[in-house]
Amino acid sequence: MTTFETFLDAQTDALGGDLVAVLRAVAEATRKISDTLKTSSLDGLTGATEITNVQGEAQKPLDILSNDILLDACRAVPSVAFAVSEELDAEVAIHVDGRYAVIFDPLDGSSNLDVNVTVGTIFSVIEAKSADEILKSGRHQLIAGYAAYGPQTTLVLTTGRGVQIFTLDAAGTYVMTTADAKITPEAKEFAINAARRASWDDVVSAYIEDAIDSGHNMRWVGSMVADTHRIFNRGGVFLYPADRNKPGAGGRLRLLYEANPIGLLVEAAGGEAIIGNEKILDIAPTSLHQRVPVIFGSKAEVDKLATAYRARVLEAAAE
Ligand code: P6P
């Protein structure tokens, strides 16, 4: 049995002790968040506060608590220079001699908390000794991962050598359950919020119509980590398109702490992650909370959409 600790020991030569210490602290934070969620209804931690975050969303007590747990984890590791959080307007300076930035969505999908649906923590680690080094493309990520808090708590991560999956056991130890996770290239399931059909572009509309005509199934949890974990488990494609009626509005999901870490995981598992005719990981960020449209999952399915977007770009160029 490989535990997270024995996994980290084996990674130390490749990653270095400082980066391993960051990863250990983030994993421990997800374990604490998992424990907190289990009894949140009993501890009066559900519902919403009067506080609105930088996203314009009502913060939930567990958003704040999860964010604090992760900030404390960053403060406990001398090599962390900055923390970037969905819940905070700007980057937080942690240690002046640090060399890494930990970028995270502390509790994604928290609108599902009161209905006991899987939510998650999404995280990314990059090298950043100064604040102006934080806005770099997803290809620069050293570590990316998420914790899915569902019937089980699973930690899914990549350190650049494939994707490993750990499951929290009854004693609170992460045990490796998958050593090299792969996303099946073929799939017959898509995840999209069909209520927003009027806002889809022609490529997405045509893909979804064809998928339905081909007998594909639909799943939409409303929690990106839950939908992502299903895709890791049985394939599929996740789509959160831009709103065609709001050109330049980007999309709903955030590049730095949602699209980039998920994009690195998906590519490391043999899947694809795109924004129109570009790869998510090649996008140069312009701001900490930049929103982007995202499509990711099984390679054969995502390639269909990427091909259609490329054809649209070529048609536009020929006009
Ligand atoms: P909609 C949760 O708020 C989130 O950011 C993702 O986890 C999820 O996939 C998406 O928004 C759900 O969006 O528009 O269906 O509510």
Q: Which CATH number fits the domain that encloses residue 226?
A: 3.40.190.80
Nearest to 262 by CA among 147, 118, 129: 147
Q: In what order do the strands lie in the sheet with 143-149?
A: 92-93, 80-85, 100-108, 119-127, 143-149, 153-158, 164-168, 174-178
Claim to verify: residue 44 and residue 143 sit in the same structural domain = yes
Nearest to 241 by CA among 191, 311, 180: 191
Residue 105's CB is within 10 A of a number of other CB atoms, namely 30
Claim to verify: residue 26 and residue 164 sit in the same structural domain = yes
Nearest to 227 by CA among 196, 268, 190: 190
Residue 183 covered by a domain: no
Claim to verify: residue 163 and residue 257 sit in the same structural domain = no
Q: How confident is the model over 93-126, as pLDDT tens digits? A: 999 999 999 999 999 998 898 899 999 999 999 9
Which CATH number goes with the domain that contains 110?
3.30.540.10
Q: Say what the pLDDT of residue 55 is.
A: 76
Nearest to 241 by CA among 252, 225, 230: 252
Residue 235 CA: distances (Å) to CA of 180, 227, 297: 15, 10, 7
The minimum-distance atom of ligand 1 relative to the CA of 238 is 9
Q: From the CA of 139, how far away is ligand 1's center (Å)?
A: 24
Residue 277 covered by a domain: yes
Question: Higher confidence at residue 148 or residue 315?
Answer: 148
Counting beta carbons within 10 angstroms of the beta carbon of residue 216, is it exposed (0 to 12), middle (13 to 18) or buried (19 or more)? middle
Residue 191 is inside which H or E element, if any? strand 189-191
Q: How many separate domains does the chain show?
A: 2
Residue 308 is inside which H or E element, if any? helix 299-318
- The yes-or-no verdict on residue 82 having pLDDT over 90 is yes
Q: Say what the pLDDT of residue 59 is.
A: 76
**Ligand 1, atom 3, residue with closest C-alpha:** 109
Residue 268 is inside which H or E element, if any? helix 260-268
Protein residues whose CB sits closer than 6 Å to any atom of ligand 1: 108-109, 111, 193, 222-224, 252-253
Residue finishing a domain among 157, 178, 199: 178
Claim to verify: residue 124 and residue 229 sit in the same structural domain = no
Q: Say what the pLDDT of residue 318 is.
A: 86
**Ligand 1, atom 1, residue with closest C-alpha:** 222
Residue finishing a domain among 148, 178, 208: 178
Residue 316's CB is within 10 A of a number of other CB atoms, namely 8
- The yes-or-no verdict on residue 130 having pLDDT over 90 is yes
Residue 69 covered by a domain: yes
Claim to verify: residue 208 and residue 293 sit in the same structural domain = yes
Residue 311 covered by a domain: yes
Claim to verify: residue 50 and residue 171 sit in the same structural domain = yes
Measured N-to-C along each axis, helices 4-15 and 17-38 cross at an angle, to the nearest 10 degrees, of: 150
Pocket of ligand 1, candidates 197, 218, 240: which has the most ligand atoms within 8 Å of its Cβ, to mutate? 240
Q: Say what the pLDDT of residue 51 is.
A: 78
Residue 117 covered by a domain: yes
**Per-residue pLDDT averaged across 225-230, rounded?**
98
Claim to verify: residue 139 and residue 216 sit in the same structural domain = no
311 is in which domain, residue-wise?
Answer: 189-318
Q: From the CA of 223, how far away is ligand 1's center (Å)?
A: 6
Claim to verify: residue 211 and residue 247 sit in the same structural domain = yes
Residue finishing a domain among 151, 178, 205: 178
Q: What is the DSSP letter of 157?
A: E
Claim to verify: residue 26 and residue 120 sit in the same structural domain = yes
The minimum-distance atom of ligand 1 relative to the CA of 221 is 9
The CA-CA-CA angle for residues 167, 120, 158, to 5°, reads: 60
Claim to verify: residue 228 and residue 299 sit in the same structural domain = yes
Q: How many residues does the chain have?
A: 319
Claim to verify: residue 8 and residue 148 sit in the same structural domain = yes
Claim to verify: residue 157 and residue 206 sit in the same structural domain = no
Q: How confident is the model over 33-47, as pLDDT tens digits? A: 999 999 887 888 777
Q: Is 269 helix (H, G, I), strand (E, B) or coil?
A: coil
Cβ-contact 153, 30 below 8 angstroms: yes
CA dist 33 and 27 (Å) reads 10
Residue 58 covered by a domain: yes
